[in-house]
Chains A and B, each alone.
Chain A
Amino acid sequence: MTRQQSQKVATVLVTAVAIIVILPIFLVLVYIFAQGWSALSWEFFTQPPRNGMTEGGLLPAILGTLFLTLGTAVASIPLGIGAAIYLAEYAPNNRLTRLIRLAIVNLAGIPSIVYGLFGLGAFVLFLNFGTSILAGSLTLGLMTLPVIISTAEEAILSVPSEFRIVSLSLGATRWQTIRNQVLPHALPGILTGIILGLSRAAGETAPILFTVAAFYLPELPKSIFDQTMALPYHLYVISTQVPGMPLQIQYGTALVLLLIVLTLTLVATVVRTIMRRRRQW
């Protein structure tokens, strides 16, 4: 085979692989859209479920998922960014730092059901938050932390060191340099990590199973100490626990969950693009 031929073969191969990667995502989206589209209606978004959940809408579950996502954000973003700044900018290369890194890697490897059990033991029972939005948000936040920390650290480390040195040479303190040069530059990357982490948290079932999710609760939560319905758990329930559930509602619920996560991602991507463009180079 000549060099030109092998070049052609390689191009075809990698293109094929790339297409194979898109295919499953594309198929899932198309299938869920096709099956669930007809369930969508004004009522589906604005009414609680009725008649053994076989009729009505998803309002408590949709709002529950939004509350939980917000709670997860509050619990994980400040901690995650703080830890990332420490690791990237301050941490000396010593045993403590290695221990922290090891902990983060391990945190990322823990199965989500174990987070659920930990949340039950630590937040619901030991700290006595009860089965509540607070306990669920903290559990999801914990699960999201490693994603945010590692992507934020990566983003901070990718800031050119010249900017740091110039800032310091002009008499800025280390924190001023981080605040004015490093973080603005790293923000789009940090945001990517937050999107990834939160959209995963929004769709998780296992961590909220014992810590917050209610089987059926038509009223909306009144405080962070209340239980709430949530879309992923609701989807699990109506797919496996309720006999005679119309298939249309199941796919409709899946579609709504998908739409929420996609919207979250889309909004964040747009914000990120705008931020990148605003930055003068």
Chain B
Amino acid sequence: MTAKIHIHDLSFTYPDGTQALRHINLDIQPQQLFVLFGPSRSGKSTLLRLLNRLSDLLPDTQRSGDILLDGADIFARSVNVFELRRRVSMVFAIPTPLPGSIYDNLVYGLRMAGIRDQATLDERAETSLRQAALWDEVKDRLQDSAFALSGGQKQRLCLARSLALRPEIILLDNPTSGLDPISTAQVEQSLYKLKQQYTIIMVPHSVQQAARVGDQVAFLLDGEVIEVGDQSRIFVNPQDQRTEDYVTGRFG
């Protein structure tokens, strides 16, 4: 199986001189849920932001190494970054609906991509809401403000908003950070179905969540990949002492 994403010798430094990533090498397979876990400031979020080039927004950063998506360099000059962000979509830790209705939120990315056909927009809105397990709760009030939803509903709306773009890859940056256990379970349930169709890369809320949802997992520490492999192996039989110490709760 060829990797969906191939990361080769990737390093990244912030304007203040902090080196967030050091020589990262990773292969991420399609139709899997890939988990990046590790203590805070280990570089997980930075790596996610590089994958759809949201990192471009910060001036004066330094990057070396490559990220290949289906074999093509995402930092190449010829790449349309707006197209890339539709292919590699991001859901943030704090659910942030845009001002406007639930429906407006769902079709925002599509409208920005120039899709005006009402039937297409309606179809995508419904499909993505179903995929995010939100359809039954909001189908009768799509024109209501997105801010009236509960925290868990907002996060599933943000997930649906990304799905409406039919991305190939979904990046999830700690998507359940503010959610109660029931909402968290709902989101995880959705992810379980979604990974059959999409490649999902997720920064989990906790080590426990990493073990629960991950197929492949990578343990990051101080901007380096310490260990990567099948979820079952990493959590049951870690090769590196630091991985073992972290997953057993000796530090973190």
Contacts and interface: CB of A to CB of B under 8 A. Distances in A.
Given A165-B57, A280-B101, A170 B112 contact: yes
Interface string A179-190: 011001100000
B210 interface: no
Interface in A155-195: 162-163, 165-173, 176, 180-181, 184-185
Given A171-B109, A172-B109, A180-B112, A281 B145 contact: yes
Given A163-B98, A279-B99, A173 B112 contact: yes
B96 A172 contact: no
Interface in A78-121: 92
B147 interface: yes
Contacts of B98: 163, 166-167, 181
B145 A163 contact: no
A173 B84 CA distance: 12
B162 interface: yes
A280 B147 CA distance: 8
Contact of B100 (A165, A168, A280): A280
B109 A170 contact: yes
B79 to A, nearest CB: 13
B167 to A, nearest CB: 9
A170 B85 contact: yes
A169 B56 CA distance: 11
A156 to B, nearest CB: 15
A170 B108 contact: yes
B85 A184 contact: no
A280 B96 CA distance: 14
Interface stretch (B39-47, B86-94, B233-241): B86-94
B108 A167 contact: yes
Interface string B153-188: 000000001100100000000000000000000000
B85 A169 contact: yes
Interface in B25-80: 52, 54, 57, 59
A95 to B, nearest CB: 15
Interface residues of A, number: 20
Contacts of B108: 167, 170, 172, 180
Contacts of A184: 99
Contact of B54 (A169, A172, A280): A169
Given A169-B52, A170-B161, A171-B86, A176 B112 contact: yes
B123 interface: no
A70 B240 CA distance: 73
A195 to B, nearest CB: 23
B192 interface: no
A170 B162 contact: yes
Contacts of A176: 112
Contact of B85 (A163, A171, A185, A281): A171
Given A168-B54, A170-B112, A171-B82, A163 B96 contact: yes
B3 interface: no
Interface in B122-147: 145-147
23 contacts: A162-B92, A162-B94, A162-B96, A163-B96, A163-B99, A165-B54, A166-B92, A166-B96, A167-B108, A168-B57, A169-B52, A169-B92, A170-B86, A170-B109, A170-B112, A170-B162, A170-B165, A171-B109, A172-B109, A184-B99, A280-B99, A280-B100, A281-B147
- Closest 6 pairs between A and B when the two form their complex, measured CB to CB: A170-B109, A280-B145, A171-B86, A172-B112, A169-B90, A171-B85
Interface of A: 92, 162-163, 165-173, 176, 180-181, 184-185, 279-281
Given A162-B92, A169-B54, A280-B145, 15 more contacts: A92-B59, A162-B96, A165-B54, A165-B92, A166-B96, A167-B98, A167-B112, A169-B92, A170-B89, A170-B109, A171-B86, A172-B109, A180-B112, A185-B99, A281-B147
